[in-house]
Amino acid sequence: MKQFLSACLAVLLLAVLLVLPAAAEETTDAPNLTPGFSVTAEAAYVANTDTGLVVYEKNSETPMAAASLTKLMTMILMLESYQDQLDTISITAPGYIYDYLYGKNASTADIWKGETHTLRSLLYAMLLPSANEAAYIVADYMSGSSIDNFVAMMNDEAARIGCTGTIFTDPCGLDPGNVTTARDAYLLVRVAMGYDAFAQAAGEESYQMPASTKHDSPYTILTSDKLVSPSSNYYRSYTKGGKTGSLDDWQNFAGWHTQDGETYVSVVLHSPKTDEDPRPALTETAELMDWAFATFTVTAALDTTQPITELPIVYSSQTDTVMIYPADDMQTLLPRQGGAELTEKTSMFRSTSPRPSSRAMWWVPLPLPCRAKPLARWTFWPAAAWTATSCCIPWRR
């Protein structure tokens, strides 16, 4: 009998399954969970950082030329080592890097050979106008004048943070051999935005470079990320920062966006330029994020005041049934239209229980168009005061 009773106490599991809405099952009442426009970029990735859910992806595992997104890694390595010394360490630009950059029409912050700048100024130079000489100056300093050693550091760090389709060949992105994926670029942004200095610099429209031996007075550098420029037609108030990149007739952008307390990281790779739009990655990012914020919100999937089900029990002199309630409302990403009403809640219990039990299996499929399948911590409380248990299973991808 003891074995029988033990077998009847099932382990609690809650699985939050993300399912693609099937066209055959769509109704007039169902919300459209895909963008109502065509994304022309070769790859894209949009994920909500509050929940880890991916709301849009296209060729997100395909390696493509990273261009100046490469500088994200150069900045990460610099901040990892010197985030508390940005104003106390100054570096003089070595002459040999200009031999490499000569004739490549590379973006610049007008830092001349022999000029000395603080690490903070070099951070802004790399981030705002995407200065290639600034990236090389930092790489030279950190590697003891061996760019090859610095590139090795870049690739080691990429592997450490989980990049699977990224290879770096220089510190700035001019070499088309620098490749990344939309998902990997997402990881780079997640790491970079964790540094306060990066987050502050990325949101700036301009920066004053100090006077130096080659500049008699301070001068202004401007950001290439026009999503943070209020005077630009590309401006979006929710964009907090990001990095552009381009080598050819396409543009990359990777950045992050926050509105009403909800944050997303977006990546757009190889968005084709046109005569009408020289910054197509910014245009497509704005379209994707306008859609994401309008379509989804982080909200409760469950109501803790409402019972899941009433479970019959046997061998109890106190009651014949027990009401099962969720112990938490499960904040997650849901469509704004319909929200929790669109979730399909299915309780799975034995027809009877030998005694009041707090353990049950419950599935809540959420109608989100993404591949991630998170498993969350969950507890079901019975109406009576019996001990409840829970288990936690990490996110799967």
- Joined together, the tokens standing for residue 365 give 């499929």
- What does the pLDDT average to over 244-267? 97
What are the tens digits of pLDDT across the range 112-152? 999 999 999 999 999 999 999 999 999 999 999 999 999 99
Whether residue 379 has pLDDT greater than 70: no
Q: What is the pTM of this model?
A: 0.80
pLDDT for 154-171, tens place per residue? 999 999 999 999 999 999
Nearest to 92 by CA among 107, 72, 111: 111
End-to-end CA distance of the chain: 41
Higher pLDDT, 29 or 250: 250
143, 149 contact by CB (below 8 A): yes
Q: Give buried/exposed letters for 320-352 (b at 16+ CB in 10 A, else e).
A: ebbebbbebebebbbbebeebebbeeeeebeee
Q: What is the pLDDT of residues 201-243, one digit of tens each?
A: 999 999 999 999 889 999 999 999 999 999 999 999 999 999 9
Q: What is the mean pLDDT of the chain?
A: 82
**For residue range 359-370, what is the model confidence (pLDDT) as tens digits?**
444 444 444 444
Cα 160 to chain centroid distance, Å, stands at 17
Confidence of residue 351 (pLDDT cuts 50, 70, 90): low
| The pLDDT of residue 184 | 98
The pLDDT-based confidence of 188 (bands split at 50, 70, 90) is very high
pLDDT higher at 349 or 47? 47
Residue 324: pLDDT over 60? yes
Q: What is the pLDDT at residue 14?
A: 34
